[in-house]
Amino acid sequence: MNGEKRVSNDDFVKRYGGIYEHSSWVAERVQAVLDGGDADAELLATLMADCVDNAAVEMQLELIRAHPDLAGKAQVAGELTAESTEEQSKAGLDQCTADEFEAFQSLNAAYKEKFDFPFIMAVRESTRGEILAAFAARMDNDYNAEFETALQEIHKIARLRLAALENSS
């Protein structure tokens, strides 16, 4: 944090509120720590991850559940956030074959049945095949391992979103 540049609370939350899917509380809490100061993407990523990691389990679960299914109904209906739309598109999830789409639907349902939250993966730099393989492999995890994996994947997503935001400035 350089402390030289002051950022209004509203501007900070407006800029960074979408880094964690539908969870502007992360940006709000980090903004309070920075107290109007500025920070680079790496420091923001660290502060935001710490905020999530130190949040109550209920808040963490709410954050995980805020994420959409991969190649799911929200994507088909055009209901994803702009960030999720871009990420799923870069992974080719908007170009699934009928068989791939069916596989995603089946895995989404089985995963939610087992863990009671959606499968989370930072997909921006993955192929559909890699995602499907990870999906199938992670079905063997227990709840606690998968909860932690989901949070780590969310942090990866946040870092990628912060980097993209920094590069667009």
Alpha carbons 117 and 17: distance in angstroms, whole number: 22
Contact 146, 138 (CB under 8 A): yes
**Amino acid, single-letter form, for residue 22:** H
Alpha carbons 149 and 23: distance in angstroms, whole number: 18
Q: Which residues are catalytic?
A: 67
Distances (CA, A) of 112 to 31, 42, 59, 115, 161: 33, 32, 18, 5, 25
Alpha carbons 48 and 18: distance in angstroms, whole number: 12
Contacts of 91 (CB under 8 A, 6+ apart): 123, 124, 125, 126, 127, 128, 131
